[in-house]
Amino acid sequence: MAERRVNVGWAEGLHARPASIFVRAATASGVPVTIAKADGTPVNAASMLAVLGLGAQGGEEIVLASEAEGSEAALDRLAKLVAEGLEELPETV
């Protein structure tokens, strides 16, 4: 299983707009990805309700994971998106 641990770069955490940006990127990745708080229960990263339900705060560590073949690049892009707190989807996601 591929995994990335990253701190949430959005000051407000994964709420509303940042969660929407992240979920769209996770969906666009084309591979099934889970997201969890460190040592928490993983949820579907493509589900807006699941991501909002995490309650991940700015600076808090999250874990992105996938068992899909070829998921390394997708996890790298998602980790960068989260760590940098980007305000829009990068074209490469």
Do residues 31 and 78 make contact, with C-beta atoms less than 8 angstroms apart? no
Q: Is 34 known to be catalytic?
A: no
Count of Cβ atoms closer than 10 Å to residue 89 Cβ: 15
Query: How far, in Å, CA of 15 to CA of 58, rounded?
Result: 10
Q: Which of 3, 15, 44, 47 is catalytic?
A: 15
Supply the residues annotated as catalytic: 15
